[in-house]
Amino acid sequence: MDKVKLYFGKVKDFFKWFTSTTFARVAGVILKWLYRTINFIIRQALLILIIYSAIFSVAASYALYRAFIYGYDIYDGVAQLKDTQPEMSKYMEALRDSNPNIEIKHTYVPLDSISPYLRKAVIASEDAGFYFHPGFDIRAIAEALNANQMAGKTKFGGSTITQQLAKNLFLSGERSFNRKFKELAYALLMEHELGKDRILELYLNYAQWGKDIFGCQEACRTYYKKSCAKLSVDQAINLAAMLASPGKHHPHMRESQFMAKRRAVIYQNMFPKKDSVLVDSLRQLMAPPPKDSSAKGAAKASEKSMEKAPAKNLDKKPEKASAKPHAKSDSKSTVKNSANKKQ
């Protein structure tokens, strides 16, 4: 027992001696500083965490609110298309606002009043996989990106018929990721809510077929003086070919290389196993023009001379008069010969 007391007494004396040394004093100051520093850092970190948590909560709540409002607006706009259709699309309104003097021609017709040739031609022209994709086509987008990379500029978009309809009805023509995201959201919802036939009907009625012509019915009346239900295959292909550039082309541009290529692509997509006279004529139209301008002039001059030559011959009355007696004499001689044979 005495030994234990003696041992603890020595330990106590050691600590008294150690705390009285300079090293112990410096170590104590350092430990106090470390404690205060760590305590301050922890308090500041907790405070910052609380502030950022509050900011994140407010931002997340606002984002959810905006997403709800945005989603509701999209859904409400798409849901109204199930039974009704707007008088004008967003693109038509923007065109009218930019040019108040323009008179927009637009007449809505149901899908069963639209020629099946035009339906097939438009799908073959704008979106060959229309009935198979969910609103966007990954392969078309990849091909468009590859073509844009080769061209060195943004020339192709790879948008499906559903995406084009969403842009025409609800969005502006700006090129941005925000607009593309909205277009995709509208397209997915339209595919889910409307169905393929309704989307095709709306597209054909709001597509642009001229500077002031919208909808297939007005296009048929303007270019062919008939209703949309009475289109032939060739007329449907011509109308579908101009959809890629409706402001610069029209169905009657037979010498346009652009229109010739579009017609060939559409016809081959509509009838992939056929190689008819139409395809052959389209290939001739797709052939590049001759480089020699003199050859062009000579060809045109020969064509004009060929066209004028028959007209001159027709105007010569003596030749007509001389031709008739010969015909009569020949007929008389045949009659005489037949009479002689009978005798």
Tell me the pLDDT tens digit for each residue of 139-162: 877 777 777 677 666 656 678 999
Would the pTM count as exceeding 0.85? no
Confidence of residue 284 (pLDDT cuts 50, 70, 90): very low
Measured on CA atoms in the order 83, 84, 90, 95, is the torsion positive or negative?
positive
- Find the DSSP H helices in the chain: 2-19, 22-79, 90-98, 116-126, 138-151, 161-170, 177-193, 196-206, 216-224, 233-241, 257-270, 277-286, 293-315, 317-342
Q: Which two tokens stand for residue 299?
A: 């060809």
Q: Is the pLDDT of residue 115 over 90?
A: yes
User: Most confidently modeled of 11-20, 53-62, 211-220, 285-294?
Assistant: 211-220
**Residue 309 and residue 261: Cα distance in Å, rounded?**
34
Q: How many CB atoms lie within 10 A of CB 267?
A: 22
- Weakest-pLDDT range from 107-111, 158-162, 274-278, 321-325: 321-325
pLDDT of residue 156: 61
Mean pLDDT of 83-111: 90
pLDDT of residue 110: 94
214 beta partners: 106, 208
Q: Is the pLDDT of residue 280 over 70?
A: no
pLDDT of residue 235: 92
- Weakest-pLDDT range from 127-141, 210-224, 273-287: 273-287
Return the closest-CA partner of residue 205 out of 191, 217, 193, 190.
217
Q: Is the pLDDT of residue 224 over 80?
A: yes
pLDDT of residue 237: 92
pLDDT of residue 154: 60
pLDDT of residue 18: 65
pLDDT of residue 274: 57
Q: Is the pLDDT of residue 324 over 60?
A: no
**Residue 213 and residue 243: Cα distance in Å, rounded?**
12
Q: Is the pLDDT of residue 133 over 70?
A: yes
Q: Is the pLDDT of residue 26 over 70?
A: yes
Residue at 189: amino acid letter: L
Q: Is the pLDDT of residue 34 over 80?
A: yes
Q: Report percent pLDDT > 90 for the chain.
A: 29
34 φ, ψ (degrees, to nearest 5): -65, -40
Q: Which residue has the higher pLDDT, 166 or 333?
A: 166
pLDDT of residue 70: 66
Q: Report percent pLDDT > 70 for the chain.
A: 71
pLDDT of residue 301: 44
pLDDT of residue 164: 92
- Weakest-pLDDT range from 63-77, 103-117, 178-192, 205-219: 63-77
Could you tell me how many residues make up the chain?
343
pLDDT of residue 304: 43
**Residue 341 and residue 343: Cα distance in Å, rounded?**
5
Confidence of residue 63 (pLDDT cuts 50, 70, 90): confident
Confidence of residue 338 (pLDDT cuts 50, 70, 90): very low
Mean of pLDDT over the chain: 76
Q: pLDDT digit string (tens) for 188-222?
A: 999 999 999 999 999 999 999 998 999 999 999 99
pLDDT of residue 178: 78
**Residue 76 and residue 63: Cα distance in Å, rounded?**
19
